[in-house]
Amino acid sequence: MNRIAALAAALAFCAGAAHAAGGLDLRLDPAPIHRLDVESLQRGARNFVNYCLNCHGAKFMRYERLTDIGLTEQQIKDNLMFTSDKIGSTMTVAMRPADAKAWFGTPVPDLSVIARVRGVDWLYNYLLAFYRDDGTVTGWNNLVFPNVAMPHPLWELQGGSKLVTTEYDGHDKALAAAIAIKGLASVEPGTGNKWHVRTVAADGNAPGTMTQLEYRTFVADLVNFMAYVAEPNKGRRISIGIVVMMYFVVLFALVYALKRMYWKDVH
């Protein structure tokens, strides 16, 4: 009994701690991705190799596997690989973990299954949520991952962006305002009855090389690719599932016909 009570107390404590750590209500913009959009996956692979692979690896992914998303081996070799890599090698990163730790103060995580750990909506919003912050080492901060050690890898494309905080009287008003934003927003408690709604907005003074829409598409492609990397067999699994369901339907019809035949004489 004692043990159960201790377990319950531990669980309650964890839940409380998680709540206290979160404290904020993050409203994510759903990631507009389509798993079967092969062109989007190909663009995502290119974006990933050009902008993420210099720090992060995807060590469970082999280059040759990218033929799944419609690329030829030659295209993979010419556009996505460093000359030293072989087509059968995995997408590893040249940086040593110890160096990463020294440069960023934290290890750089492998991104093979990140889409399953964090979810695609989280990833999409994370890449939209960087804003300028002079108080951090990198000069960037992130609304979705506060005080992240990763510098904004895509800032030249996106341009500058800033945190916008608005104060409201009461939680209801703040929540309504956050919903009205129709995009990423976080609702956080302020002092007393005050609540803050925070969101990230483009800084008109520092435009990027892409428009906001182009940037969102770029990020969506990237997230689509990371979701594919996290589960390359998903498409196959779904098609096998459909075949199995069709098999059951046919089987059911046959068995039912058989049952009627057996019971014909009884009734």
The least distance separating ligand HEC from the CB of residue 52, rounded to whole angstroms, comes to 3
User: x/- site string to ligand HEC, residues 127 to 166, per CB under 6 A?
Assistant: ---------------------xxxx-xx------------
Q: Which of 18, 39, 54, 260 binds ligand HEC (CB under 6 A)?
A: 54
Distance separating alpha carbons of residues 228 and 239, to the nearest angstrom: 15
- Whichever of 71 and 154 has its CB closer to ligand HEC, that residue is 154
How many helices and strands, by DSSP H and E, does the chain display? 10, 8
Map the footprint of ligand HEC across residues 220-249, applying CB under 6 A.
Answer: 222
Tokens of 81: 């690989």
Tokens of 93: 């990163």
Task: Return left, alpha or beta for 241; rule: phi > 0 is left, psi -120 to 50 is alpha, else beta.
Answer: alpha
DSSP category for residue 169: E
Is residue 209 close enough to count as binding ligand HEC by CB under 6 A? no
DSSP category for residue 137: S
- Whichever of 149 and 202 has its CB closer to ligand HEC, that residue is 149
Residues 6+ apart with CB under 8 A from 24: 186, 187, 188, 189
Is residue 126 close enough to count as binding ligand HEC by CB under 6 A? yes
Q: Kindly report the backbone phi and psi dihedral angles of residue 188, in degrees, each rounded to the nearest multiple of 5, phi listed first.
A: -130, 145
Q: Which of 55, 61, 120, 174 binds ligand HEC (CB under 6 A)?
A: 55
Residues binding ligand HEC (CB under 6 A):
51-52, 54-56, 104, 106, 108-109, 111, 114, 118, 123, 126, 148-151, 153-154, 222
